[in-house]
């Protein structure tokens, strides 16, 4: 039988800094906005569904309004024609916000070195994590997501 202990110290507690605990909370409650334009979308779907299950990382719930989301997943080739839309969506998101470049097309333009394609979305909006691959394997995406979480944890939290 376990004795009931009223001593607060032995009940167990921990100390932390506000910055850390806010970071901890934020990294496990990612509401992502999937901005999907091309084939990488298929890989995004498999990451988001039960096989790879990004819900394990607290990022399971996609929001389709930029105002309700805090991580922008840019998934697929971005053409110059759609670029103003992407920029606008980024601007509509509220702070704090992060951007993931998913696939080589978003990182650098990939092999679409032509008149139509933006040569890396970082020419338009700031990017936090680059996940290369054409398309990246789901494991790769999860790795990127964990790196993003690390980044969120260790950044200075605006409260």
Binding site for another protein (CB under 8 A): 80-81, 83-84, 87, 113-116, 118-119, 123-124
Q: How far apart are CA 126 and CA 107, in angstroms?
A: 11
d(CA 85, CA 80): 10
Q: Which stretch binds ligand SF4 (CB under 6 A): 19-27, 57-65, 91-99, 104-112?
A: 104-112
Q: Which two tokens stand for residue 52?
A: 């790879």
Looking at 22, 33, 34, 40, which residue binds ligand SF4 (CB under 6 A)? 40
45 contact, one of ligand SF4, another protein, none, CB 5-8 Å limit per kind: none
What span, in angstroms and rounded, lies between the C-alpha atoms of 103 and 90? 18
Which of another protein, ligand SF4, none does residue 76 bind to, with CB < 5 to 8 Å depending on kind?
ligand SF4
Q: Which is nearer to ligand SF4, 135 or 144 (CB)?
A: 135
Q: Using CA atoms, how far apart are residues 82 and 106, in angstroms rounded to an integer?
A: 12
The angle subtended at Cα 105 by Cα 104 and Cα 109, nearest 5°, is 110
Asked if 130 and 44 touch (Cβ cutoff 8 Å), the reply is no
Nearer to another protein, 56 or 81 (CB): 81
In the complex with ligand SF4, the residue whose CB is nearer, 79 or 92, is 79
HSE toward the beta carbon, residue 141, CA cutoff 13 A: 28
Q: Which one of residues 24, 31, 36, 38 is an interface residue with ligand SF4 (CB under 6 A)?
A: 38
Which residues contact ligand SF4 by CB under 6 A?
38-40, 76-77, 103-105, 110, 134-135
């Amino acid at each position: 039988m376990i004795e009931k202990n009223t001593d607060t110290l032995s009940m167990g507690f921990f100390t932390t800094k506000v910055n850390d605990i806010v970071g901890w909370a934020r990294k496990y409650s990612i509401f992502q906005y999937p901005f999907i334009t091309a084939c990488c979308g298929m890989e995004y779907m498999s990451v988001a569904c039960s096989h790879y299950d990004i819900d394990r990382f607290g990022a399971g719930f996609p929001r389709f309004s930029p105002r309700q989301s805090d991580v922008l997943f840019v998934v697929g080739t971005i053409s110059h024609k759609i670029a103003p839309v992407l920029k606008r969506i980024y601007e509509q998101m509220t702070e704090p916000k992060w951007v993931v470049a998913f696939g080589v097309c978003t990182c650098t333009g990939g092999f679409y070195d032509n008149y139509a394609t933006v040569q890396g979305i970082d020419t338009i909006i700031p990017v936090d994590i680059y996940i290369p691959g054409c398309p990246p394997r789901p494991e790769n995406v999860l790795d990127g997501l964990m790196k993003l979480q690390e980044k969120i944890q260790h950044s200075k939290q605006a409260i």
